[in-house]
């Protein structure tokens, strides 16, 4: 049985559920918004007798043994922000119960046998962009010239050096929290003192074509993005024109590099952001462990959800 956990009508999750149903998979869905009626029990046997996992998850009055779950697609939002929970007092029993339920679910996801997209402990690599950049470089990809600092004078020196060389600089967050990538302008220099309270990542702008690669097990699906925006995800806001996306085939060597990169971070599902430079090099910016792939599937007609379903159902490696 395959368990899907999250918000069922959120686009990526909905696509995965539909794809699993399309291949006839035995799928059950944990809707976070209905956590008050769900129950979770996790039993772990003593190591001396093998440490077997027992317990079950009860959904809509039906209890599924955890031992029957062979695949898990995990795309949960912060349980403390769920609509029925967010307005409750911090010490309310309902809030505590909700958090304990999600804590058990994520602990189970880390230790269950079978296929998990992705295990919470492995997704933590995305919480630190500097840490992730080291792994990207070690996997064989180029990374942009980068400065991470809360020192305004260091930031100014980096920016002015890149400008003197005829380049541009972008800035974005250091953590895994999504930020809108922006180009540094001369007016921004007057605001550099603000980074004393918020270490910021500055990078030399790499010119070229954005490529989003989704790795699912050993399957590689790539999309090329055309846009004049600094951050194509917000192209309409930044330039007034939406980005255009089209599927592309990567050469076998680059595919192997992408699969190797996802394995380095123990992420069987990964969204890898590349840019093909004007000289033909590939620079890697980050590896997303919980990609909102529906944006790319819808606009470029690539079968990401189908590949996820087949992977979870053990129909593909």
Residue 316 placed within a domain: no
Does residue 21 sit in the same domain as residue 93?
Answer: yes
CATH label of the domain that carries residue 252 = 3.30.470.20
Does residue 231 sit in the same domain as residue 168?
Answer: no
Count of domains for the chain: 3
Does residue 176 sit in the same domain as residue 225?
Answer: no
Average pLDDT over residues 69-87: 93
Does residue 24 sit in the same domain as residue 79?
Answer: yes
Does residue 84 sit in the same domain as residue 160?
Answer: no
What pLDDT is recorded for position 50? Answer: 66
Alpha carbons within 13 angstroms on the beta-carbon side of residue 208 total 20
Q: Which residues, other chains included, contact 234 with Cβ-Cβ below 8 Å and sequence gap of 6+? A: 180
* Average pLDDT, rounded, for the chain: 92
Owning domain of residue 193: 145-204
Does residue 18 sit in the same domain as residue 83?
Answer: yes
Q: State what percent of residues in the chain have pLDDT above 70.
A: 97
What pLDDT is recorded for position 16? Answer: 98
- pLDDT band (50, 70, 90) for residue 49: low
Does residue 161 sit in the same domain as residue 108?
Answer: no
Does residue 227 sit in the same domain as residue 182?
Answer: no
Total-model pTM: 0.89
What pLDDT is recorded for position 175? Answer: 75
CA 297 to chain CA centroid, nearest Å: 15
Residue 173: which of 154, 201, 146 has the closest Cα? 201
Average pLDDT over residues 13-33: 97
What pLDDT is recorded for position 126? Answer: 83
Residue 309 placed within a domain: no
Judged against a pLDDT cut of 80, whether residue 234 lies above it is answered with: no
Residue 111 near residue 53, CB atoms below 8 Å: yes
Of the residues 204, 226, 246, which one is the last residue of a structural domain? 204
Does residue 13 sit in the same domain as residue 112?
Answer: yes
CATH label of the domain that carries residue 163 = 3.30.1490.20
Cα angle vertex 37, ends 25, 72, to 5°? 30
Helix (H) or strand (E) holding 41: strand 39-44
Q: How far is CA 56 from CA 32, 61, 69, in A?
A: 16, 12, 10
Average pLDDT over residues 42-53: 78
Residue 30 near residue 54, CB atoms below 8 Å: no
Does residue 18 sit in the same domain as residue 102?
Answer: yes
CATH label of the domain that carries residue 35 = 3.40.50
Residue 242 placed within a domain: yes
Residue 25 near residue 312, CB atoms below 8 Å: yes
Does residue 7 sit in the same domain as residue 113?
Answer: yes
């Amino acid at each position: 049985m395959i368990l899907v956990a999250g918000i069922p009508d959120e686009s990526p999750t909905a696509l995965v559920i539909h794809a699993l149903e399309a291949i006839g998979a035995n799928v059950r869905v944990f809707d976070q918004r209905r956590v008050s009626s769900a129950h979770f029990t996790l039993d772990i046997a003593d190591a001396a007798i093998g440490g077997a996992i027992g317990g079950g998850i009860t959904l809509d009055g039906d209890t599924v043994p955890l031992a029957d779950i062979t695949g898990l697609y995990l795309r949960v939002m912060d349980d403390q922000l769920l609509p029925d929970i967010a307005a409750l007092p911090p010490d309310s029993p309902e809030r505590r119960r909700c958090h304990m339920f999600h804590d058990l679910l994520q602990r189970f996801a880390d230790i269950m046998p079978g296929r998990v997209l992705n295990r919470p402990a492995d997704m933590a690599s995305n919480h630190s962009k500097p840490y992730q950049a080291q792994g990207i470089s070690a996997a064989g990809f180029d990374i942009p010239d980068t400065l991470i600092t809360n020192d305004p004078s260091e930031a100014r020196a980096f920016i002015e050096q890149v400008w003197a060389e005829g380049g541009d600089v972008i800035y974005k967050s250091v953590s895994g929290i999504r930020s809108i990538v922006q180009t540094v302008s001369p007016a921004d220099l007057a605001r550099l003192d603000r980074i004393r309270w918020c270490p910021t990542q500055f990078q030399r702008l790499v010119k070229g074509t954005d490529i989003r690669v989704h790795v699912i097990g050993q399957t590689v699906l790539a999309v090329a993005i055309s846009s004049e925006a600094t951050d194509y995800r917000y192209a309409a806001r930044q330039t007034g024109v939406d980005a255009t996306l089209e599927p592309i085939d990567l050469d076998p060597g680059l595919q192997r590099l992408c699969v190797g990169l996802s394995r380095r971070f123990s992420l069987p599902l990964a969204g890898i952001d590349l840019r093909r430079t004007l000289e033909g090099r590939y620079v890697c910016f980050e590896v997303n462990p919980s990609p909102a792939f529906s944006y790319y599937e819808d606009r470029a007609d690539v079968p990401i959800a189908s590949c996820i379903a087949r992977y979870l159902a053990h129909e593909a490696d």
